[in-house]
Amino acid sequence: MEKVLLVRYTEIHLKGLNRPYFERALISNMKRALHGLDPKIEREQGRIYVRGISEERFDEALDRLTRVFGIHSISPAEAVDKDWETVVQAALKLMEKRLSSPDAGTSFKVFARRSDKRYFMNSDTINKELGGRVLERFPELHVDVHKPEIKLSVEIREKAYIYCEEIPGAKGMPTGTAGAASLLISGGIDSPVAGYMMAKRGLTLSAVHFYSYPYTSERARDKVVELTKLVSRYAGEIKLFLVPFTDIQMTIYEKCPEKETTVLMRRLMMKIAERIARGEGAMALITGESLGQVASQTLEALCVTNDAVSMPVFRPLIGFDKDEIMDIARRIGTYETSILPYEDCCTVFVPKHPVTKPKLDELRASEARVDFSEMIEKAIADTEIMLIK
């Protein structure tokens, strides 16, 4: 008997001729996620099988795979010889284990699939025979063909695979199959969620963070590094650019109208992020903005921000309520880190009365009155790069 992880994948089947490309990307992401666990990964008839994981690390492997995008669901399965009595005994053992949990239920159904057409029983017969043996052994159970609480699956292939659990995967598309984009990451709740959502659509991420020593602390920066790490559990390796922003921010603060400072700051962040993104081969920027959430996220403000760059800006949270964003943050495990209280550079310099309907001409004019070009070059030159795995 051998423990195997049976992996089903998502929308990839829609991709026609590109399908092998998506499958290869998924397998390579799975290999990366299972690094150090010596997996043997094989693709077969629309499924991926992970073998060779040691018993002690089997649950860890399963847990890691639940964060790989492109996976629809995972079933921990027992692989045994196709000899019928062996199959029955393995199935009964699995049912026994399942029934030892108090909420296992009392109804079941057998789902047989026979890929090996030479096997001496067809699916219907397997269903009936195995169902009978289960009832004989566990008389307290009954068969429910419509809504069974326990689904006992048997697949007859080159071996027999038996399982009764289906654990949901992270869904989405394999990371790396949709190109690359740069995430503007702050220490807040929203941007890590935004990064997660776009990686889920197949984008490879790099990340750009602006900090303002000494107005923001070392710990605020550590927090961003930690958040990037948490996102990388899903998105894979992320190159994080830490950009010193104090000079630019102080200059905006001293030389520009106070009510415009936030939007001007956002424009300069976007410009620098776009430069970094280009250098990385990224074709879009990602932010955690949501319409109307704060003064700098009105439609007018977003238009003024967009005007600073020519790359598309993805805002996957644009139509989400804060509650909905917080739910995702909790689910993906970034929330607890995001709410740590360290100051962000945006919160240090908040104007008392920010413009909520900035006018593009006015903002452009305010920005043009100051020559930021040297400061931008210096910020980029002094940027620190970290590879987050």
**Interacting stretch for Mg ion, rule CB under 5 A, among 56-64, 152-160, 181-189, 211-219?**
181-189
Query: Residue 287: which of ligand ATP, Mg ion, none does it interact with, CB under 5 to 8 A by kind?
Result: ligand ATP
Please report how close the Cβ of residue 276 comes to ligand ATP at its closest, in angstroms: 11
Please report how close the Cβ of residue 187 comes to Mg ion at its closest, in angstroms: 7
Among 188, 195, 316, 358, binds Mg ion (CB under 5 A): 188
Please report how close the Cβ of residue 387 comes to ligand ATP at its closest, in angstroms: 18
Number of residues that bind Mg ion (CB under 5 A): 2
Q: Which of 232, 233, 229, 234 is nearest to 200 (CA)?
A: 234
> How many C-beta atoms surround the C-beta of residue 13 within 10 A?
13
Among 153, 186, 306, 334, binds Mg ion (CB under 5 A): 186
Our CB check for ligand ATP shows the closer of 23 and 344 to be 344
Please report how close the Cβ of residue 297 comes to ligand ATP at its closest, in angstroms: 6
Q: Cα 84 vs. chain centroid, distance in angstroms?
A: 41
What dihedral angle (degrees, nearest 10) is formed by the CA atoms of 344, 347, 349, 355? Answer: 130
> Can you tell me which residue has the tokens 């009155």?
369
Helix, strand or coil for residue 114? strand
Please report how close the Cβ of residue 133 comes to ligand ATP at its closest, in angstroms: 55
Please report how close the Cβ of residue 369 comes to ligand ATP at its closest, in angstroms: 24
**Interacting stretch for Mg ion, rule CB under 5 A, among 22-30, 98-106, 179-187, 272-280?**
179-187
What is the binding site for ligand ATP (CB under 6 A)? 184-186, 188-191, 208-210, 269, 287-289, 293-294, 296, 344-346
What dihedral angle (degrees, nearest 10) is formed by the CA atoms of 70, 72, 74, 80? Answer: -100
Q: Cα 268 vs. chain centroid, distance in angstroms?
A: 28
> How many C-beta atoms surround the C-beta of residue 158 within 10 A?
10
Query: Residue 176: which of Mg ion, ligand ATP, none does it interact with, CB under 5 to 8 A by kind?
Result: none
Burial class (CB in 10 A: 0-12, 13-18, 19+), 200: buried
- 354 counts as binding Mg ion under rule CB under 5 A: no
The whole-angstrom separation of Cα 267 and Cα 376 is 12
Report the residue number whose CB is nearest to Mg ion: 188
- 195 counts as binding Mg ion under rule CB under 5 A: no
Our CB check for Mg ion shows the closer of 186 and 287 to be 186
Our CB check for ligand ATP shows the closer of 175 and 287 to be 287
- For residue 150, the cross-strand partners are 108
Burial class (CB in 10 A: 0-12, 13-18, 19+), 318: middle
Our CB check for Mg ion shows the closer of 153 and 186 to be 186
> Can you tell me which residue has the tokens 């805002």?
315
385, HSE (Cβ side, Cα atoms, 13 Å): 11
Burial class (CB in 10 A: 0-12, 13-18, 19+), 189: buried
- 202 counts as binding Mg ion under rule CB under 5 A: no
**Interacting stretch for Mg ion, rule CB under 5 A, among 84-92, 188-196, 209-217, 263-271?**
188-196
Give the N- to C-terminal CA distance of the chain in Å, as an integer: 35
The whole-angstrom separation of Cα 283 and Cα 278 is 7
**Interacting stretch for Mg ion, rule CB under 5 A, among 87-95, 124-132, 182-190, 196-204?**
182-190
Query: Residue 345: which of ligand ATP, Mg ion, none does it interact with, CB under 5 to 8 A by kind?
Result: ligand ATP
String marking each residue 107-126 x if it binds Mg ion according to CB under 5 A: --------------------
Please report how close the Cβ of residue 325 comes to ligand ATP at its closest, in angstroms: 8
Our CB check for Mg ion shows the closer of 299 and 339 to be 339
Q: Which of 54, 64, 87, 57 is nearest to 7 (CA)?
A: 64
Tokens matching residue 68? 């790989």
Tokens matching residue 79? 């692989």
Query: Residue 332: which of Mg ion, ligand ATP, none does it interact with, CB under 5 to 8 A by kind?
Result: none
Binding site for Mg ion (CB under 5 A): 186, 188
